[in-house]
Amino acid sequence: MSQKGKIGIVGSGLIGRSWAMLFAGSGFNVSLYDIVGDNVDKALLDIKAQLNNLEANGLLRGQTKANEQFSLIRKADTLDDCLQNAIHVQECVFEDIELKKKVFEELDKIASDEVVLCSSTSCFLPSLFAEPLKHRNQVIVGHPVNPPYFVPLVEIIPTKWTDENITKRTRALFTQIGQKPVVLKKEVPGFIVNRIQYAILSECYRLIDDNVITVEDVDTVMSDGLGMRYAFMGPWETCHLNALGMKEYFEKYAQGIHDVCMDSGPVPKMGGKTADLIVEAMTQKTSIEKLPERRKWRDERLIALSQLKKKLDG
């Protein structure tokens, strides 16, 4: 076993594979489990191909070769096997609350008192599956952004029972593998990523619903305007630099921001004619059959941006 320790991964889909590559890239042993054992065999083949491909394109993370990284990833035949001596378990099963509850009950039965029990869920408050567990003080969420190999953010959400030390260890581990963790101080629906995303979607939906702008144009406002800044700076730093500092920004614009937001109307229910219009515009831009090709287009850009940011930040 490597000196860094062992990570258990439960679920061998896209997210499970990404985590496996990230952990192995930083020298951790990875034990990959799936309720359907054959899925792990497929996942291992795919991981091997991905790592070789990343290496061939100069995109491999970590200090070791692709085959060394791959050799750290093993199939676990049982959940016990996956957890044994693990310092951290990353759950990556399908997003279904009953399934999550079941998996965490199973984990709870065999978990040591030390291991971090971390879910990758993007949508379920961890207390929903942590509450009845005897190890609930070890449960936490580490929600990555797709594709995690190139978009480093991970949002960490402890429950009210989570030990402070578990939160610290989770943040330190994600930092160690080169991701950018942020920690929520309490559980809120949607966490942070989706709360911000949904605030944007709601405003954009209203603007289309009110016939102010087309679907294509509202996307352009982001991709050729606001979004270019946000690739490097958060909303507060954007303001700090656009004004003579944040203090002046609030003095000058707080009232205007309030007035504009008050003009925005209630939270929209997305459906009906306006939703159809958005579906139509998007499908016209990229048909369902062409989605994989366009995702490749997106990932190429995220890869290039990730390389650019690394180069600029030294």
Q: Which of residues 96-125 bind a second copy (CB under 8 A)?
A: 123
Using the 8-state DSSP alphabet, how is residue 184 labeled? Answer: -
Q: Which of residues 135-164 bind a second copy (CB under 8 A)?
A: 145-146, 150-153, 155
Residue 218 sits in the site that holds a second copy (CB under 8 A): yes
Rounded to a whole number of angstroms, the distance between the first and last alpha carbons of the chain is: 32
Half-sphere exposure of 25 (CA within 13 A, CB side): 25
Judged on CB neighbours under 10 Å (0-12, 13-18, 19+), 149 is: buried
Element (H, E) at 41: helix 37-56
Q: At what angle do helices 246-262 and 235-242 cross, to 10 degrees?
A: 120
The binder of a second copy chosen from 41, 67, 304, 310 (CB under 8 A): 304
Residue 128 sits in the site that holds a second copy (CB under 8 A): no
Q: Give the nearest distance from C-beta 238 to a second copy in angstroms.
A: 8
Residue 201 sits in the site that holds a second copy (CB under 8 A): yes
Q: Which of residues 235-274 bind a second copy (CB under 8 A)?
A: 235-242, 244-247, 250, 254, 256-264, 267-271
Residue 175 sits in the site that holds a second copy (CB under 8 A): no
Give the count of residues interacting with a second copy (CB under 8 A): 103
The binder of a second copy chosen from 37, 80, 212, 310 (CB under 8 A): 212
Q: Is the dihedral of CA 227, 60, 34, 153 positive or negative?
A: negative
Q: Give the nearest distance from C-beta 197 to a second copy in angstroms.
A: 6
Residue 227 sits in the site that holds a second copy (CB under 8 A): yes
Q: What is the DSSP string of 193-236?
A: HHHHHHHHHHHHHHHHHTTSS-HHHHHHHIIIIIHHHHTT--HH
Farthest CA pair distance, the chain: 62
Closest CB to a second copy among residues 19, 33: 19
The binder of a second copy chosen from 3, 164, 211, 314 (CB under 8 A): 211
Q: Give the nearest distance from C-beta 75 to a second copy in angstroms.
A: 29
Which of these ranges, 36-44, 96-104, 111-119, 186-194, lies near a second copy under the rule CB under 8 A? 186-194
Using the 8-state DSSP alphabet, how is residue 138 labeled? Answer: G
Q: Give the nearest distance from C-beta 140 to a second copy in angstroms.
A: 15
